[in-house]
Structure 1
Amino acid sequence: MVDIEPEDLSASANRNRVLYTFSPDLRECENVTSAFAQQGYRATFAQTIPALSRLFDIRRPDVALVDYESGVAEDDVLALIRDLSFGVRVFVIGNANMASDMVVRAIRAGAVALFERPLALTEMTHVVAIDLRRSCSSEKNPARCGSLSALSVREIDVLRYVMEGQSNKEVGLQLHISARTVEAHRASSMKKLGARNTAEMVHIAMMDR
């Protein structure tokens, strides 16, 4: 894991970073944009796909924050971003307690991680800043703290079904264990992999396969 010094996360370090937010929610766009602008980013937002495309025509961003419902579920905005510019770090914004299949879909579409509502803006700016520092310091993704080799056989079994988008109950039926036991294995796997949520766990697993 790469150590990030406090000064590396200062607003001055972000002054050349460009960040776009794509969401139909004007207040959310304004709040997110303001939070990142205060951290030195050149941040703005778009509420429609044509508006987002125009922003890309003006300048390639370092980061794009994309609403799940309008950017992944309804339109494949992540694919559009890949077509418009290579190497943009994409984070998805979704509602609380997103289903496993939604998380897997976002990660497979190219999302680095997911932020769940209600948004913790300070945490968001911190996570994005750390990701940008790490992505610049290594050709590989060094964000994962562990690897799949740290997991038990049962934890690997559970993770495999989670990556297929199955719920705790569905995984339990497949493995003949209770949903509560599945949740315990998921929690243990996240801890071993250094993941804060299901999205990060799936992302780490996909990178480590």
Structure 2
Amino acid sequence: MIDATVFVVDDDQAMRTSLQWLIESTGMQVQTYASADAFLAAHYPGRAGCLLLDVRMPGMSGLELQAYLAREGYRLPVILITGHGDVAMAVKAMKAGAMDFIEKPFHDEDLLRSIRNALEFDQKHRASRAARAEIVMRLAELTPREHEVMAMVTDGKSNKEIAASLNVSAKTVEAHRARVMEKMRAESLAELVRMALLAAPDAPL
């Protein structure tokens, strides 16, 4: 999490200053913005970290910024902060994907714990996305027949069953299977299955 940044968006300057001091006191990097528009003007997709949002701000609110980022495919974990929170707002924020919802006044350690959790979540998901991208690149090297063989192998079918299904010899299946393992750089069948699961379009990240 060395390159991770906590992005603070709050229209209250005193709160921004206080949050920056608190977060930086733990060694974490911080960038602060007075509005959602200011954040969007400076931010670009792909940056590591998390987003600390005030719910009620002039112009675009924290909830509206959260919804906009989700629509645009931004994957930063979001923590919402408000002094006017209620149960309905908290539920709405969490259903929309917020990692946490914290009401002012809050305990410093509670907020820092939430931030650390969000940064750890971001780090793990970035690693998963990078692993998926690498697997997708390896899959692109497979021939159509090798794709067929891999799909049946990871579905638990034996060489004999695959041979019968493709109307080829068991030796041919063994050759295809060996090339699949080599191209995918899989050391075992279990690893190949894990790759197939991670590369699936509906795999959670």
2:5–2:48 CA contact under 8 A, matched in 1? yes
| Higher Rg of the two aligned structures | 2
2:77–2:121 CA contact under 8 A, matched in 1? no
Query: What 5-or-longer segments of structure 2 have no aligned partner?
Result: 129-205
Q: Measure the CA separation in 2 of the matches of 1:26 and 1:85.
A: 29
- RMSD over aligned CA atoms reads 2.8
Once the two structures are superposed, the pairs formed by residues 4-15 of structure 1 within 5 Å of their partners are 14-15=1-2
Q: Measure the CA separation in 2 of the matches of 1:92 and 1:41.
A: 18
Is 1:53 equivalent to 2:40 in the alignment? yes
Partner of residue 63, structure 1: 50
What is the TM-score normalised by the length of structure 2? 0.52
Partner of residue 33, structure 1: 20
Q: 2:74 aligns with which of 86, 94, 98?
A: 86
TM-aligned CA distance change 1:78 to 1:58, over 3 Å = closer
Q: CA deviation at 1:135?
A: 5.2
Q: Measure the CA separation in 2 of the matches of 1:38 and 1:59.
A: 25
TM-aligned CA distance change 1:130 to 1:54, over 3 Å = same
Partner of residue 77, structure 1: 65
Is 1:121 equivalent to 2:102 in the alignment? no
TM-aligned CA distance change 1:73 to 1:16, over 3 Å = closer
Is 1:16 equivalent to 2:40 in the alignment? no
Q: Measure the CA separation in 2 of the matches of 1:33 and 1:134.
A: 21
Q: Measure the CA separation in 1 of the matches of 2:66 and 2:29.
A: 21
Where relative contact order (Cα < 8 A, 6+ residues apart) is larger, the structure is 1
**1:71-113 deviations in Å (ceiling 9; x for gaps):** 88576110233355532010000126x3221111111222111
Q: Measure the CA separation in 2 of the matches of 1:117 and 1:17.
A: 25
> Number of aligned pairs?
125
Q: CA deviation at 1:66?
A: 0.6
Q: CA deviation at 1:36?
A: 1.2
What is the TM-score normalised by the length of structure 1? 0.51
- Equivalent residue letter for 2:53: V
